Homo-oligomer: A and B are copies of this chain.
Amino acid sequence: MKVTVNRKAHFNAAHRLYRSDWSEEKNLSVFGKCSNKNFHGHNYEVIVGVTGEIDKETGYVIDIKILKDLIKTEIEDAFDHKNLNIEVPEFKKLNPTAENIVVVIYNKLFKHMAANHKLEVTLYETPRNYVKFSGKS
């Protein structure tokens, strides 16, 4: 009897789509205005879903306060009001597309998950564009 518990959070960050091993011209031709060398930014909204059995004693799958604190420590503190390309180590050599960011978030949270919990992360780059990742399948 598995239930999924979801928690929303958010962070504001600058980024550009960019590969350092490509020329500026190639970056612009592939990524267009998203590759603007002076950066642009987003209010990222992130939804973290944890699926597992309801604990008989507490009635929780996971204490949402623990999940909230984990998201704060691992994601908000690391990404909020940051430049993803310059200041977040994971994107030093990884292009910060929404797809790559959602996998990075997943991996940062996954190492704290209990073995019997399944994780899914949804990331809104804008209210109109979002991505979802639930681990290797």
Contact = CB atoms under 8 A, between A and B. Distances in A.
A38 B13 CA distance: 10
Given A40-B81, A83-B38, A95 B129 contact: no
A15 B3 contact: no
Nearest to A39: B14
Contacts of A133: 1-4
A116 interface: no
Most central of A10, A43, A83, A126 by chain B CB within 10 Å: A43
Contacts of A99: 3, 5, 54, 59-61
Interface of A: 1-10, 12-15, 17, 30-34, 36, 38-43, 49, 54, 58-61, 64-65, 80-83, 86-87, 94-100, 102-103, 126-133, 136-137
23 contacts: A1-B103, A3-B99, A3-B103, A4-B131, A5-B98, A7-B128, A7-B129, A8-B127, A8-B129, A12-B40, A12-B42, A14-B40, A14-B83, A31-B58, A33-B81, A38-B87, A39-B83, A41-B41, A54-B100, A54-B103, A59-B99, A59-B100, A64-B129
Given A5-B129, A38-B83, 19 more contacts: A3-B99, A3-B102, A3-B132, A4-B133, A5-B131, A6-B132, A12-B126, A33-B81, A36-B83, A38-B86, A38-B87, A40-B41, A40-B80, A40-B81, A54-B97, A54-B103, A58-B95, A59-B97, A60-B99
